[in-house]
Structures are given as structure tokens and as C-alpha cells.
């Protein structure tokens, strides 16, 4: 049992919303409002919502973008919890938040994120989503589908996995999970396609030995556990333009893993990690350290102390 729960969208929620002294959330504060992310509600009733606003975050902000978490003068946060000095400077200098509200605590959920020892070693392939790929026809005719398909069907790669006794797990982003079935034909004794609800992302991260992604922030969870990440970015120019990524050169320089633009480059580095027992490249390890001030499982304690101190 969770204890005292106020259900979102109820009259009790509305009543508490106007009386709360401290609003604590991990997403945009407007999602905490009644009835959710409503611009109309915020416009007419936002000024009546008092109290302190504390943003504990659900992930690490690591990209300069014209979208996202910019300072909002209408409802500025009293505290924003960040994971490192790097993230703090990014939120201050690029997103416009003041130095005083940015507190280096680490993410609460990382206190439960730890490596899980299993007999079977695995590579976790988690590409993020793309716009315009919701429909079957759009998806199957996309370069996104083709790149994943050619990787899963590479006979040399499959043979290497068998020789080394390694499993490959494909897990699509939740927005594209309904397309997972189109890759099931490539499942075999070393390739597995995991659908939504079959296994949590957290469990896959805990058990995996190597992660392959393109741009997903889930790579930071993997790096937090001091495990290697490969970035398969076949469409980098299109991606940074479509998602308003500022300073693409800096973005790539801050990646904590090899950046691969072709299947050949990707397979080369996968084999390298298979043969060195998944040891993180020291240069990549130093880069990943910039994102984490703490790896001590005391993030919740620090967040609690910050909130208590308001």
C-alpha cells in the first residue's frame, strides 16, 4: 500500500493543489495541475497555486535544445535537483535557471539502480523513437527500420554472438513498441525482441553488459553503472535538426562511447567489447564521470534534506 494517495483529477486533488506548501514532481509542473497539462487551467488558476515548487527530475538533462526545460518566469522553480556540476552549468547558462535554485543531489531513482549479476551476458539494443513512424507503412519504409533490420540479420554478427555465448536483446522505445512484431522474424537462440510489459527497462539495464543506442538518454543509466555504451547514429544531421539540438559538435564530443555511423563501424566496436570482456574505454569513462557527482545511493537523502531546508 502506498499510504496517503490523492488521485489525479479528483476534487480532492484540486482542493489540495491550492493549499499545498510544497509541490514536488519529476516532470513539468503543469502536469501536476488539475486537470493535468492544461494551458487554460494554468492561465486562469495558475496564480492561485502557491507554495514552493521542487523539481526532482526523472532524467539527466544533457543536451542543449531550444525545446524543453527553460526558465519560466510565470512559475519559476524554487529547487531543481541535478546530478552534476556539468548539468548545473547547462541549466544555468543555456536554460536560464538561477544558480541558487540548482542543487546537486543526484536522481532519486538511481539509489535503486545497481548491477545485477547473471550467468548470461547480453547486449541491450535500445534505439529511441523518431517522428512520423507511427503508422505501419511509414515505419516499414523508413531508414530507421532498415538499419535495425540489417543489424539483426547480419550472419557474421549472429555467428560471433553464438561463439562468444552472448545474447542480443532489442527493446524499442515505448512510442514505437507496437512495431516490435516486425522484428520478431529475426529472433533465434541469440536474438530476442522484448515487448512492452515483458521485462522492464530497469531490469534490462541492470543485467546488460553493453548498450547500443542512438540518442536515448537511457544510455546515462547504463553509464551510471560504469558499463560501456555504443552510439549508432546513422542519421545524426537529420536528428539534430529535427529535434533542435544546439551545438551538435559539442553534443558528440560529450558522448561517453564510440559514435558509429555505419553497420560496419558498429560491428567493429561490438566485437572489440566482446573480446575485452566489456571493459569501458578509459576516455569514455572519464566523460561519463562528468554527468555524475555521486554514485553512493544517498541521492534520496540529499533530495530530502534540500526539501526540508526550504
The whole-chain average pLDDT of the chain stands at: 93
Give the neighbor-by-neighbor strand order of the sheet with 210-213. 191-193, 166-170, 121-125, 210-213, 229-232, 259-260
Q: Is the peptide bond before 292 cis (omega within 30 degrees of 0)?
A: no
In this structure, are 285 and 301 located in the same domain? no
Q: Is the pLDDT of residue 1 over 70?
A: no
CB contact at 8 A, 207 and 194: no
In this structure, are 139 and 274 located in the same domain? yes
| pLDDT at residue number 76 | 86
In this structure, are 127 and 24 located in the same domain? no
In this structure, are 129 and 270 located in the same domain? yes
Distance from C-alpha of 213 to C-alpha of 126, rounded to nearest angstrom = 5
pTM recorded for the entire structure = 0.91
| pLDDT at residue number 166 | 97
Residue-wise pLDDT for 15-44, tens only, equals 999 999 999 999 888 777 777 777 788 788
Q: What is the C-alpha radius of gyration for the chain, rounded to an integer number of angstroms?
A: 21
In this structure, are 131 and 244 located in the same domain? yes
Residue-wise pLDDT for 231-267, tens only, equals 999 999 998 887 777 788 888 889 999 999 999 999 9
Is 154 among the domain residues?
yes
Q: Considering the chain, what percentage of its residues have pLDDT values greater than 90?
A: 75
Average pLDDT over residues 297-305: 98
Cell matching residue 17: 493543489
In this structure, are 284 and 145 located in the same domain? yes
Partners of 54 in beta bridges: 24, 79
In this structure, are 285 and 300 located in the same domain? no
Q: Is the pLDDT of residue 140 over 70?
A: yes
Partners of 124 in beta bridges: 169, 211
In this structure, are 151 and 125 located in the same domain? yes
Q: E-strand spans in 187-268?
A: 191-193, 210-213, 229-232, 259-260
| pLDDT at residue number 68 | 67
Average pLDDT over residues 190-199: 95
Average pLDDT over residues 50-72: 86
Structural domain range at position 84: 11-106+296-308
CB contact at 8 A, 267 and 14: no
Is 4 among the domain residues?
no
In this structure, are 239 and 279 located in the same domain? yes
Q: What is the CATH number of the domain that holds 141?
A: 3.40.50.12580
| pLDDT at residue number 242 | 79
Name the 3-class secondary structure at 27: coil
In this structure, are 231 and 303 located in the same domain? no
Is 114 among the domain residues?
no
In this structure, are 192 and 62 located in the same domain? no
In this structure, are 79 and 129 located in the same domain? no
**What is the total count of domains within the chain?**
2
- What are the distances in angstroms from CA 146 to CA 80, 113, 151, 167, 222? 40, 33, 9, 21, 26
More confident residue, 219 or 250: 219
Contacts of 301 (CB under 8 A, 6+ apart): none
Is 15 among the domain residues?
yes
Name the 3-class secondary structure at 243: coil
Backbone CA torsion sign across 56, 59, 65, 66? negative
CB contact at 8 A, 273 and 124: no
Q: What angle do CA 134, 229, 263 make, to 5 degrees?
A: 65
Amino acid at each position: 500500500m502506498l499510504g496517503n494517495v490523492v488521485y489525479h483529477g479528483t476534487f480532492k486533488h484540486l482542493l489540495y493543489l491550492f493549499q499545498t506548501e510544497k509541490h514536488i514532481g519529476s516532470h513539468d509542473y503543469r502536469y501536476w495541475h488539475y486537470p493535468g497539462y492544461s494551458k487554460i487551467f494554468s492561465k486562469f488558476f495558475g496564480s492561485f497555486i502557491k507554495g514552493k515548487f521542487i523539481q526532482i527530475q526523472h532524467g539527466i538533462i544533457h543536451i542543449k535544445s531550444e525545446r524543453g526545460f527553460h526558465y519560466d518566469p510565470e512559475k519559476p522553480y524554487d529547487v531543481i535537483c541535478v546530478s552534476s556540476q556539468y548539468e548545473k552549468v547547462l541549466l544555468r547558462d543555456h536554460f536560464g535557471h538561477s544558480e541558487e535554485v540548482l542543487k546537486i543531489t543526484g536522481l532519486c531513482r538511481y539509489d535503486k539502480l545497481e548491477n545485477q549479476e547473471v550467468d548470461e551476458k547480453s547486449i541491450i539494443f535500445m534505439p529511441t523513437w523518431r517522428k512520423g513512424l507511427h503508422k505501419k507503412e511509414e515505419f516499414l519504409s523508413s531508414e530507421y527500420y532498415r538499419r535495425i533490420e540489417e543489424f539483426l540479420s547480419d550472419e557474421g554478427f549472429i555467428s560471433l554472438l553464438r561463439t562468444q555465448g552472448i545474447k542480443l536483446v532489442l527493446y524499442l522505445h515505448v512510442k514505437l513498441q507496437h512495431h516490435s512484431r516486425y522484428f520478431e522474424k529475426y529472433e533465434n537462440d541469440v536474438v530476442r525482441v522484448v515487448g512492452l510489459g515483458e521485462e522492464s527497462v530497469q531490469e534490462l539495464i541492470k543485467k546488460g553488459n553493453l548498450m547500443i543506442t542512438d540518442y536515448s538518454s537511457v544510455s546515462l543509466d547504463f553509464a551510471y553503472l560504469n558499463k560501456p555504451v555504443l552510439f549508432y547514429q546513422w542519421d545524426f544531421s537529420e536528428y539534430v535538426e529535427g529535434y533542435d539540438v544546439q551545438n551538435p559538435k559539442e553534443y558528440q564530443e560529450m558522448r561517453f562511447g564510440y559514435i558509429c555511423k555505419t553497420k560496419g563501424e558498429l560491428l567493429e566496436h561490438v566485437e572489440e567489447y566482446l573480446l575485452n570482456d566489456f571493459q569501458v574505454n578509459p576516455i569514455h569513462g572519464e566523460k561519463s564521470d562528468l554527468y555524475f557527482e555521486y554514485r553512493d545511493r544517498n541521492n534520496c537523502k540529499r533530495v530530502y534534506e534540500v526539501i526540508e531546508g526550504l
